[in-house]
Each structure stands twice: as structure tokens, then as C-alpha cells.
Amino acid sequence: MEIIVNNEIKLRDWRKSDQKRLASLANNQHIANFMMDSFPHPYTKKDAEEWINMCLKETKNPLFVIERKGELIGGIGGHIKDDIHRYNAELGYWIAENYWGKGVVSQVIEKFCSHLFSNYKINRIYADVFSTNPASGRVLEKNGFIKEGTLKKAGYKNGLFIDLLVYSKLK
Ligand SMILES: CC(C)(COP(=O)(O)OP(=O)(O)OC[C@H]1O[C@@H](n2cnc3c(N)ncnc32)[C@H](O)[C@@H]1OP(=O)(O)O)[C@@H](O)C(=O)NCCC(=O)NCCS
């Protein structure tokens, strides 16, 4: 499956052949600092292999490569929740540090959210953003997400309790 974002950027499914480039781009402390611990640092070829194998088996959650001019530059995914939260999707995304600040993720989120609302039975998309990550809050706000509130010291990252900012967008 592919989602065209603009004439340079598209979203596509993960492939086995992404392993080497994923391991190389994702092995960056500046990215890992703002991600869940399931995005480790260091990020090894084995981590990349495990991630891609998981994506290839995934049937419920949409998980895509962000590709620019035919090259992998990052990833975006939605985790569809269960039980009373089953109409919610949690958003996760990252791009390689060389591409930060060029408007890529702002555009990608717009297309990805439209895809989620059109193709999945969900009513709300949300993200828990570390309070230390204003760029992520900004890309969400630019896409109509509202900051609902702060979960005080709800996360534990790199040995510190951190505040999480809950951003959401309703269908
Ligand atoms: C956060 C991240 C996804 C943003 O992607 P990006 O493609 O660089 O984002 P964009 O260029 O589309 O937009 C960034 C916006 O944040 C703003 N910004 C950047 N640094 C900022 C800062 N320190 N304070 C406030 N705003 C900031 C930019 O000015 C821009 O807003 P503008 O268009 O109004 O000028 C990217 O930096 C990344 O991959 N970070 C590491 C992983 C991560 O944080 N993932 C999200 C976890 S919730």
C-alpha cells in the first residue's frame, strides 16, 4: 500500500530490504530521546530486522516507511487501541535528523490522519508527546490537534520522570 504525500514524499509498506538503512538512520540518540524505549539506542541491525519482521506480520495497525525521492527517511504508524479505547489510534513518527525542520512530518501527518479516519473505524487520533519535544507538539498543532492536558511525570525516560502532553484530533 502507498500513500502519496507530495511529488517527493510518499508512505509505503516496510520491506526486508529496508533493514540496513533503517539501522543506520535510527541509530541516533537525538531521535531515541523523544521516542518510547521500544525504539532503542543504540539501534542495531538486529533491532531493525525485528521491527521489519513485526511490520510484515502486522494485520491490525498501519505502519509505514516515510520515503523521500525513493529513499527511506523515517517511519510513521498508528496503534489502534482495544476495549473501551477501540475507537482511538495512537500516533508515532520519526524522521532522520538530516531532514528535520523541512516541513516533512507536518505534511505526512496530514495525509496519514486522513488515511486513518477514512479507512479505520476510529474516532480519535492522539499522541503522548514528551514535554521536552516542542517540535512534535508543533507538527500536531499545525494539523489541528488540540493539547488536551499534561500527564505529570507519567513517563520515565533516560532515568528521569517526564511530563507527557496529550494531543488529540477528533474525526
Ligand atoms: C518531531 C519531528 C517528527 C518533527 O518533524 P519535522 O519534519 O522536522 O517537522 P516539521 O519541519 O514539519 O515542523 C517542525 C515544526 O516545529 C517547529 N520547531 C522545531 N523546533 C522547535 C522548538 N525547539 N521549539 C518550538 N518549535 C520548534 C518548527 O519551527 C516547525 O514549525 P513551523 O513550521 O511553524 O516553523 C522530528 O523532529 C523527529 O523525528 N524528532 C525525533 C522523533 C520524535 O520526536 N518523534 C515524535 C515523538 S511524539
Domain residue spans in the chain?
2-126
Structural contact between residues 86 and 80, judged by C-beta atoms closer than 8 angstroms? yes
- What stretches of 57-121 adopt beta strand conformation (E)? 63-68, 71-80, 88-95
pLDDT of residue 165: 98
Q: Compute, in angstroms, the gap from residue 57 CA to the centroid of ligand 1.
A: 30
Distance CA 152, CA 166 (A): 11
- Number of the ligand 1 atom closest to the C-alpha atom of 102: 11
Q: Compute, in angstroms, the gap from residue 103 CA to the centroid of ligand 1.
A: 8
∠24-51-153 over CA atoms, to 5°? Answer: 90
- For the chain, what is the mean pLDDT? 98
pLDDT of residue 68: 98
pLDDT of residue 41: 98
pLDDT of residue 160: 97
∠30-157-73 over CA atoms, to 5°? Answer: 30
- Number of the ligand 1 atom closest to the C-alpha atom of 130: 48
Extract the C-alpha cell encoding 62. Answer: 498501519
CATH of 2-126, one of 3.20.20.210, 3.40.630.30, 3.30.200.20, 3.60.40.10: 3.40.630.30
pLDDT of residue 27: 98
Q: Is the CB of 61 under 6 A from ligand 1?
A: no
Task: Output the pTM of the full model.
Answer: 0.97
Segments in the chain below pLDDT 50: none
Structural contact between residues 124 and 88, judged by C-beta atoms closer than 8 angstroms? yes
Distance CA 27, CA 153 (A): 26
Q: Compute, in angstroms, the gap from residue 65 CA to the centroid of ligand 1.
A: 18
pLDDT of residue 119: 97
Q: What is the DSSP letter of 169?
A: E
